[in-house]
Amino acid sequence: MVFSHYSKLKSHYFHIKLLRRALSYLYNKETKSSFEIEHIKPNALRTEKFITSLELAEKEDFCEKERLL
């Protein structure tokens, strides 16, 4: 019984880890595509700031009237 519980926890951990890696990959791919469209060669700091903005946009609603003005 303990082994079964441990196995489920381990499986859950790896699913979360896999999803985080996939999301990180997609953020990086989106960032690269966005900069290519603008014909910009970003440095690592600019790329990281852009990814941070994408992550923030996932968590917050920026379409409120007060934020748009």
pLDDT digits (tens, 9 = 90+) for 18-66: 888 999 999 999 999 999 999 999 999 999 999 998 888 888 877 777 7
The tokens for 43 are 């440095």
| Distance in angstroms (rounded) separating the CA atoms of residues 40 and 7 | 46
DSSP type of residue 39: T
* Structure token pair of residue 37: 């469209």
**Cα distances (Å, whole numbers) of residue 60 to 11, 16, 63, 64:** 30, 22, 9, 10
The structural domains of the chain, with segments of one domain joined by +, span 43-69
Q: Kindly tell me the burial class for residue 54, based on how many C-beta atoms sit within 10 Å of its own C-beta (0-12, 13-18, 19 or more).
A: middle
- pTM score of the predicted model: 0.64
